[in-house]
Amino acid sequence: DVKVTQSSRYLVKRTGEKVFLECVQDMDHENMFWYRQDPGLGLRLIYFSYDVKMKEKGDIPEGYSVSREKKERFSLILESASTNQTSMYLCATLRASGYTFGSGTRLTVV
């Protein structure tokens, strides 16, 4: 089975900090995604990547950027964290049989 590993389960950061959320997959999948999950809003797509060094904006990219220097790693960056970015962040990969999600990183910005 594909494994998608998110480096941190819980994070607490201060307003204005630069935050890195890391996601690593153990298969050779091109497609990787970052979503944020909020109660009542479901999952909303922040950014996705079809290949190394390629990135595309999703529905809510404002305040975020991403990095994909190696195929197995897709990083989400909060350039200057704000309290409205407190959320659960989910990474996913896509193959022919469907999506595989990581366990999520719950980020709290204080």
Partner 1 sequence: GDSVTQMEGPVTLSEEAFLTINCTYTATGYPSLFWYVQYPGEGLQLLLKATKADDKGSNKGFEATYRKETTSFHLEKGSVQVSDSAVYFCALNNNAGNMLTFGGGTRLMVKP
Q: Which is nearer to partner 1, 50 or 80 (CB)?
A: 50
Binding mask 76-105 for partner 1 (x = CB under 8 A): --------------x-x-x---xx-xxxx-
At which residue do the structure tokens 């390629």 appear? Answer: 54
Residue number, 38 or 79, with CB nearest to partner 1? 38
User: Do the beta carbons of residue 12 and residue 105 sit within 8 Å?
Assistant: no
DSSP E strands in the chain: the ranges are 4-6, 10-13, 19-21, 23-25, 31-38, 42-49, 56-57, 64-70, 73-78, 87-95, 98-101, 105-109
* Cβ-based nearer residue to partner 1, 13 or 99: 99
Residues 13-52 that bind partner 1 (CB under 8 A): 31, 33, 37, 39-45, 48
Residues that bind partner 1 (CB under 8 A): 4, 31, 33, 37, 39-45, 48, 58, 90, 92, 94, 98-99, 101-104
